[in-house]
Amino acid sequence: MGRPLRTALLALLVSVVVGHEANAQSLTLSLLERYLDSLRQQSGTPAMSAAVVQDGRVIWEAGFGLANVERSIRAQPDTPYHIADLTEALSATLFLEQCVETGHAGLDDRLQQWMPSFAEQGTTARDILTHRSQSGGYKYDGGRYATLTGFIEACIQKNPTPLRQAMTEKIFERLGMFDSVPAQNVDDGSADDRAIFSDGQLERFGRVLQRMALPYRVSGGNPSVNTSVSKSLSAATGAISTVRDLARFDRALDDSILLHRETMAAMWSSARTTSDAVMPTGLGWFIQNYNGNLVYWQFGLTPGAYSSLIIKVPEKHLTLILLANSDGLSAPFSLQDGDINSSLYARAFLRLFVG
């Protein structure tokens, strides 16, 4: 067989293999899309946006249902949502980069060192970030996590900075997350916001918020707008983002743009109770093993309004991001207990992509 013929046959073989792999991936993504939308409809959730990221690239994205039922506005991949507890992952990253990596604060600093009025004696930043309770065991507590807000604001570069300003400058604008807003109430015209944000920033925030998916409370399969959702930001909740922007955040983590690899290794290591039992959490994330694969994940839940989920499978260089405008992504599954297997959405993704 001559060399040109061998070369041609090799090229043909490669194209067949690549084509087969592309078709298999396309089928898997198509199945995922059907599963996700079916689960959304079963829960009565009006809208959901989704993205799958592989090797730092969005390989699939979609919007399902209506972001605004009354005006029949369909959800898109760039639809902004209140991301609820996913804010914890952003805050943890901000704290680790701006406070710990700079040497301005430590994970084992007591909160009372930075906030003298904090009631819990001996509680450290590590305790809060891992949801380790005062009794030394695991207990998910978003309200307690929110107390990290003052610590972050006090320690950033030894120059006290409001959390909403730090999140905007150090994460959103730095990564090109221009459809993300630090809090829903940044456009309320307060003097504080006019002092820390430019007119251009406030105008951009306003444009994003105008496109935001409305929050719905679902009862008996019927959605109604929930007008009582908090609009403020804390270390635990309140940020506004899209699946596309969160894909940028995901890529920045994997590319070590935000944190050193040693810091990420610590962030994604299982914490322990004071009796040395393994907890389901790292620093701002849940850590779990699924069929021999490590999984890093975090969920969000604003009851009767919003829910969210991010799942990273580092061995596969794969991430799923879901945002919804009801609590149906999270509320039925008790994700605060730390088991991703309880989520039907997560199981659909993991079975299709991990096995």
Helix (H/G/I), strand (E/B), else coil: 236: coil
Return the DSSP state at 169. I
Number of alpha helices (DSSP H) and beta strands (DSSP E) in the chain: 12, 11
In a domain, 30, yes or no: no
* pLDDT tens, the chain, 355 aa long: 555 545 544 554 444 444 455 577 888 999 999 999 999 999 999 999 999 999 999 999 999 999 999 999 999 999 999 999 999 999 999 999 999 999 999 999 999 999 998 889 999 999 999 999 999 999 999 999 999 999 999 988 656 789 999 999 999 999 999 999 999 999 776 767 788 999 999 999 999 999 999 999 999 889 999 999 999 999 999 999 999 999 999 999 999 999 999 999 999 999 999 999 999 999 999 999 999 999 999 999 999 999 999 999 999 999 999 999 999 999 999 999 999 999 999 999 999 999 8
In a domain, 1, yes or no: no
In a domain, 116, yes or no: yes
- pTM for this predicted structure: 0.92
Residue 103: CB atoms within 10 Å = 8
> Which CATH number characterizes residue 299's domain?
3.40.710.10
In a domain, 87, yes or no: yes
Residue range(s) defining the domain that contains residue 309: 45-353
In a domain, 345, yes or no: yes
SS3 per residue for 19-79: HHHHHHHHHHHHHHHHHHHHHHHHHCCCEEEEEEEECCEEEEEEEEEEEECCCCEECCCCC
Written as one string, the DSSP assignment of 95-150 is: HIIIIITTTS--TT-BHHHH-TT-S-TT-BHHHHHHTB-TTSSB---HHHHTTHHH
Residue 203: CB atoms within 10 Å = 12
Give which of 60, 89, 277 is closest to 180, Cα–Cα. 89
Give which of 340, 310, 336, 334 is closest to 322, Cα–Cα. 310
In a domain, 202, yes or no: yes
135 φ, ψ (degrees, to nearest 5) = -80, -5
Kindly report, residue by residue over 202-220, the tens digit of the pLDDT.
Answer: 999 999 999 999 999 999 8
Residue 164: CB atoms within 10 Å = 25
Domain total of the chain: 1
In a domain, 33, yes or no: no
In a domain, 56, yes or no: yes
